[in-house]
Structures are given as structure tokens and as C-alpha cells.
Structure 1
Amino acid sequence: MIKFFLRNYLCLLNVLCYAQTNNFLGGSISWQPVSPNITNATTVAITLQQTYSWVNSVWACLALSGSLIQTLVCLAGCSSNATGIFVKGPCVYYDFGLDVTTAQSVKTLSYALDAQLVLAYQSSTWTTLVSGATTWSVATYINLAVRNDTGVINSSPRANMTPVVVVPVNTQQTLRIPMTDSDYDVVKCRWASNASAVASTTIDEYSDYDVVKCRWASNASAVASTTIDECSGVCQDLSGAKLYTSSNTDNNCTIVFNTSVVGYYCIAIQIEDFMPSSPNGTALSSIPLQFLVRGVQVSCGIPTITGEPTNGDTIYVQYNITYSTVITAQSGCSSTKIVRFLTIILPSGLASISTLFQSSSVLYSTILKWTPTIDQINTKQLFCTFAIDSNNSLSAEYCLNFVVIAQIAATASNNDSINWSLILGLSLGIGLPLCILMNILSYFNFPRWFNKKFSSKAKTLSRLQEDQTSSGQKRIDNGTKLYRELYIQPDDRMSQSLSRTMSTSSISW
């Protein structure tokens, strides 16, 4: 019995020591309704997803999934079932090189229809930072009202980023935050604030001609805007960083920054979705994303992702047709090699990344494959990855944009009609003017040309006939002369030959 209590005491002491150690590396909270189309019920069931990262050497997976006893706090619109939500969850990722462990908790909760509330994870053990305090607040704004544009309950956007981004100091860096939204809303980002006002009243869009309604009172309805602490001691921790976002469905969120001192810096932003018809109106929901940038001194170059397609390209992919491409990275110097690709986000659906393979002495590759489905037509998808070398240095972020389109099918009849149209066009455009030109030229020049040609040919024919006649006469004269020389002799020679012949004949007899 004494051993049992002693073991439990040591375990509790160990957990308390962990809790006081600087070990937090950031995280995010997102949510979505289980049945967004059910809008006539009194309650709404949502799936709440919490993702947090910790220093791996301090928090092992077992402690994160079992011993961590911290819970979320409700900052606005609280009800009895908004408390007691544990942050612990099973490990989903760990990286010994970056000393990172990531745990994820997924829970189903129920709240009243039209409820608006803010849940947050707050504590005070950020890892040691170059600047900023160690306290944190990771807050999400949940709005379960029925949307007036789609008639369903909204789902929050999602954002992905590696817990630690390693960059060389004194070098300007550009980092894109991958953001997605299942409702295909306009998604934007902004810096988190420790004095953010969460609006809970409906904007009047119809001047004085209002539609007045009544509803049952609710114990989870917020009636006034509330000031929320979204980042505590790490608000805009990276001095000089610039944040760029867009008010369209490109869902662009880009941070440009430079680290001047070796160490950790915190990035704390809020990701918010807006109705496409009102991209600059009131946010439908807001989720946090907090992660670290680590500035390091490098003795040689960092990895680079090279080749085609290039970073930031937009690629149109037909649904139900597999897209495949090779992603190739090059090590920064001869003493290092690429050890893996750290993929931040894949296109939704049937997407995969192959294992790393070496294609040359300094080049390492992986293969991205993705088959979009028919329900993804006209949607935009995103792929982002980093290459990591044996020194745990990361390449610049590499992203590809995808747009899903319908299949392009060309039939034989279409091809034939196109060819015939081309032939007809060429005939009318070239053949007809050429025929007219030939007729005009023949009208003016043909008589003289014909007379000249005919006269020349007649003379040539006459000359040939004369030559043939003369040649024939010469052949006849020559033949006659030869015949006469052989067979027609003078009388004396002929008589001598005749007598000689007769004499010979008589002897023979």
C-alpha cells in the first residue's frame, strides 16, 4: 500500500513539474457541426478538434494522452456543458529532430441552436522565447446560428502549420499559412489580439425597414460584444513581420518576416471565414493558430525544392483522373542530405505522398498522387511541404494550388466537324481569290501567249519533219550506192565473173 501511494505521489509530482516547465509550442482549435443541415432542433452537436504541440523531451506521448489534466475555459456565452473539456489527447505526430510532440483531441459536444460562445486554452508555460511572455491564450469563437445565405449551420475554417519552422537568421522569409473551409467561404487571417471584440449582434442591412421577430429565450445566447484575449503574452511577438491576406476564395495568408537573433519566436494569428457575398462583413467564426519560428545560424546552405512545377503554380486537374508529379529537393551542401519531406497539407480526398528516394548524389524526391472526386469540381485545393536535411534545416515552404475541373472529352464527330470547317475556310479564303486572279490574268495574256507558243511549236515541228526527211533521203542514197557497188558492176567485170562461174560449173560436173 505504501508503494502504491508513493508511486502515485511521484507520478503527480512529475506531472506538476512538467506543468511548470517551459514546454508549450502552440496549437489550434477548430469545430464543425455533426449535421449542419438539421436546423429545426433545439440543440446542435458539434465536433471540437484541439491540436497542441509540446517539447518532446519534456512531454512524452503517454503523459499527453493520460496525465494532462488541464481543461478549456469559456470566455463568453458560457453554459454548464462548456466546462470540463480536457485538452489531453492521443499523439498524432512526433519529431525527434525538432524535439516536437503533437497531440490531438476530438470530442463531440452539444449546445443550443443559435448559441455563440468562446472557448480557450490558457496557461503559462510557453517554451523560452526571444521576446514575449510565457503566458498563452488559444481561443476559438463558435457561432451556431443558421446562416442566412445557405440555410445551414456554419463550420469553422481549418489551418495547418508545422509546430516549429526553422529558418536562418538575417534572411527574409515568406511563409504561407494553408487555410481551408468546408463551406467554401472566403477565409482570411489577421494578427491575434489580447483585446478582440467578438460581435454577437446581427448587422442591420435594411435601414429602417426592419423585420422584427421574436424567439424563445436561451441560456447560451450572447447579447453584447465581449472583449476576448486571443494571445496573452505572445501577441505579434515577431517584430517587423508583415501579414498579407485576400478577400476572395484564394484563401491567401502570407507572412513575411526576418529573424535577427538565434532563438524561438511566436506567431499568433486568427483564421476567420466570411460569406462570399460579404467578404468584408462580420466573421462567421474565428479559430486560432499559434506556432514557433526558430532562427538558427547555418554553416552551409539550406535545402531547396527545385524543378517543375515551381512553387506557387496553379494546376487544373480533371476529376476522376489521377494527377501525379515528382517533388525534388536538393541538399544545401555536400555534407548534408535530405532526410524527409514534412507535408503540411494535402488536397482533400485520395491524396498520398510516397516514401523518400534518392535520384542523384544531391537530389532526393517524393511522388505526390491525387485523384479528385466529382463533388470537388470548381473547388480549390492546396498542397504544401518542406524538405528537411540531416541538420534539421528546413527548405523554404513549397506550395501548389489546384483547381478541380470537369473532364474534357472530345468526340470523333467534333474533330471531323472542326477539320471540315478548317478546310472550307481555307478553300474560301485562299482558293476563291486565287481562281479569280488566274481568270483575270488569262483574259489579258492568254492570246499572245498562245500565239507565241503555237507558232514556236509549229516551227519546231516543221524543222523536225525536214530533218527527218533529209536524214531519210541520205540513208536511201547511201544504201543505193552500196547496193550498186556490190551487185551492179560494169559490163566487162560482169562478163568476166559470168565466164568464170560457167567454167567452174563445167569442171564440177
Structure 2
Amino acid sequence: MNGDKLQCVSNSSCSTYTALSANGYCTDYSMLIDTSSSQISDVEIINMDSTFCIAYRGSTWPGIITNSCGFSCYVDSARWSLGCCLDLTTQEDGFINSAPVATAISPIYVPTNTINVITIPATDADDDNLRCRWASNTSLFDECGDICGIASGCTLYEENCTLVFNSTGKQTGNYYAVALMVEDFYNDTNSTSLSSVSIQFLIHIVAKPTCYSKPTISLNSSINTTLEVGTEYSFTFIIKTNC
């Protein structure tokens, strides 16, 4: 992945933006499921009122089930396009909009022949109204490469960013790619988004376990705790497998 960049993809000028490295610093690694995650942040000085799109693009998705062929089919080394469009125009309140932040674990393991609810964690610093939609490839911006459109077996509830995945009849071992856009709106009646951010992940079909009771997680402290700056606080997660 060395040399991968978050590039300007607009036909017009991208102001003073310079391509940023997409190679993050490893934050987590699991030997059990052989996955890792990373994060990276940087600072750019960009002119006010600039509007342009940036994306991280490549073509090395693992073998996945996608709708890029017009129906559900297997594709090896599918293209990806992960990015967003920036609008640094000052709003009516005198501030620049803060885009939402969304995260997801990938892959998400789903047992075959089950119905699963996947909630997309999303927050917004401006407390704007958040909604999710399927990513698409338009003349303005390719949001999703070869994994655009509704993923097979999925139903998206846009208002609360919840995905329902039906794995009935799915083959164990297959991967399904999901490409969504999380958007913020001024209020719940507005139809024009202030910004859009991409979130993409894989769903991995696994054999149904002998015990399908989901684990329960609890805390030994209050859900809402007030702390003074500079103080230490410890708490314990209690996890029960129920099997």
C-alpha cells in the first residue's frame, strides 16, 4: 500500500490542496481473525470558499460478491473509490460546516441463514441531522468503484443509518461489499445535504455456530459519568458469552 494517496479528482482546481498519504498508523490487530486497523490525520491549508472532491482509489478488493455486473456476481480485484467532496463555503451562521464522522469494523462476520441488524455509528460535531444512503457513481464523483448500489441481501434504513442483512441462502466463506455515504442535513426536512462522507466495509458469511446466543456486555459504572480534567478513572467491562 506504499505510495497510496488521497488525490484530488475534480476536473477543476483543488485550491491549495496537496495529495495526502493514505498509509495509516496501525492502531489494532487481531491474530484471531487476521485483521488490522489504522488511522492517520494531517493538516492542510486550503482557501476559503473552495469546493472540490478527493478520493483514495485502487483495485485490490479481495474476491467479493457485488452488483457491478448488473446482478449479484463474484468479482476478483474489484476497484475501490473512497472519498468525499469538500465545500468550504461559509454558511449563513458564519461558520464552515463540519462533516459527520462514521466508523465500521470490517469484515463483519454474519452466520448463514440469519437476519442481522448492523448499526452504522455516526456522529456530527454540529449536531446536524444525519442520514445514510447507498454510494453511487455519478458524473460528478465516483463514490464506490466496482461496489456501487444496493448490496445483495441488504435493506438500508436511511433515517437512522441501520442496515438489515439477510444471509438466507448465502454461501459460507463469501464476502459481500457494502458502500454507503453518511450525510448531514440542516434539519430533518431538508433534502440537500451539507456534506457526504464515505464508509465501506465487508460482510463475511460464516457457518452458524452451535450456540447462537449473542454475548451481553455491561459496565460496573454509570453510563454517564462526570470527570474533572486531569483525574484518573477506571471501569470494568463485564462480558458474558451466554453459551
Q: Are residue 254 (structure 1) and residue 162 (structure 2) matched?
A: yes
Give the 3-state SS of the residue equivalent to 1:292 in structure 2.
strand
CA distance in 1, matches of 2:99, 2:175: 29
Find the structure with the greater CA-based Rg.
Answer: 1
2:14 to 79, 84, 90: 79
Q: Are residue 243 (structure 1) and residue 156 (structure 2) matched?
A: yes
Query: What is the deviation of 1:306?
Result: 3.5
Query: What is the deviation of 1:234?
Result: 0.7
Residue matched to 2:57: 122
Deviations 1:27-77 (A, max 9, x none): xxxxxxxxxxxxxxxxxxxxxxxxxxxxxxxxxxxxx5xxx1121222225
> Residue type of the partner of 2:99?
S
Residue matched to 2:72: none
Give the 3-state SS of the residue equivalent to 2:146 in structure 1.
helix
Give the 3-state SS of the residue equivalent to 1:108 in structure 2.
coil
Residue matched to 2:109: 166
Query: What is the deviation of 1:303?
Result: 5.1
Decide whether aligned partners of structure 1 residues 323 and 279 sit closer, same or farther in structure 2, where only a CA change above 3 A counts: farther
1:298 to 208, 211, 226: 208
Contact 1:317 1:323 in 2 (8 A): no
Supply the RMSD in Å over aligned alpha carbons.
2.6
Decide whether aligned partners of structure 1 residues 112 and 171 sit closer, same or farther in structure 2, where only a CA change above 3 A counts: same
Query: What is the deviation of 1:292?
Result: 0.7
Alignment of 1:104-143 (within 5 A): 104-131=39-66, 132=68, 133=75, 134-143=78-87
Q: State TM-score, norm by structure 2.
A: 0.81
CA distance in 2, matches of 1:241, 1:108: 37
Residue matched to 1:275: 186
| Structure holding more helix per residue | 1
| Greater RCO structure (CA 8 Å; 6+ sep) | 2
Q: Are residue 284 (structure 1) and residue 200 (structure 2) matched?
A: no
Contact 1:237 1:265 in 2 (8 A): no
Q: Unaligned regions of 5+ residues in structure 2, if any?
A: 69-74
TM superposition outliers: structure 1 runs of 4+ over 6 Å: 321-325
Query: What is the deviation of 1:116?
Result: 1.2
CA distance in 2, matches of 1:170, 1:302: 12
Q: Percent identity?
A: 32
> Residue type of the partner of 1:72?
L
Alignment of 1:405-420 (within 5 A): none
Give the 3-state SS of the residue equivalent to 1:328 in structure 2.
strand
Deviations 1:329-368 (A, max 9, x none): 2154xxxxxxxxxxxxxxxxxxxxxxxxxxxxxxxxxxxx
Residue matched to 2:147: 234
Q: State TM-score, norm by structure 1.
A: 0.41
> Residue type of the partner of 1:89?
G
Decide whether aligned partners of structure 1 residues 307 and 72 sit closer, same or farther in structure 2, where only a CA change above 3 A counts: closer
Contact 1:244 1:253 in 2 (8 A): yes
CA distance in 1, matches of 2:26, 2:234: 31
> Residue type of the partner of 2:58?
S
| Structure holding more strand per residue | 2
Decide whether aligned partners of structure 1 residues 316 and 83 sit closer, same or farther in structure 2, where only a CA change above 3 A counts: closer
Contact 1:98 1:164 in 2 (8 A): no
